[in-house]
Amino acid sequence: MKRDEPTDFARRMASECLAVRVRRLGRVITRVYDAALAPHGVTIAQLNLLTAIVAADGARPTDLVRILDVEKSTLSRDLQRMEHLGWIRFDPRQSGRGRSISLTPAGTRLLLEVRPAWEKAQEAARSQLGRGAFAGLRKLLQPIGR
């Protein structure tokens, strides 16, 4: 291996790698939403989970792992925190196959209260990305609950 090959490769990866750019974009956009949602005491990650619970109507934790494509340990930690905050509850499933999750009245109120802040963040993200890029990103993944 030539002495400058690692440097050349690192520069190429830094400038061309889609994964690097998508991860960075995720952090940038997350900050936009988190800033807008901060006055409500919720993050975009938590709001994403609340909306997935509603959209997946009666989902179990294993369903949410699949739907959201997250690690089981991450989901478990997040659900415990949200249960402690009083936003969700675990309900016994009638079929006996695990507990389903639903929003509590406090979780439902929170979801409705953050709507204007979320809409503001959504518009800020659309503005930062440009309408074409924003629309393109929305087409890449199937919406939750469909």
pLDDT tens digits along 93-132: 655 567 899 999 999 999 999 999 999 999 999 998 888 8
pTM, full prediction: 0.83
Letter string b/e over residues 26-56, b meaning 16 or more CB atoms within 10 A of that residue's CB: eeebeebbbebbeeeebebbbbebbebbbeb
Domains and CATH numbers, the chain: 5-140 (1.10.10.10)
Task: Give pLDDT, residue 29.
Answer: 93
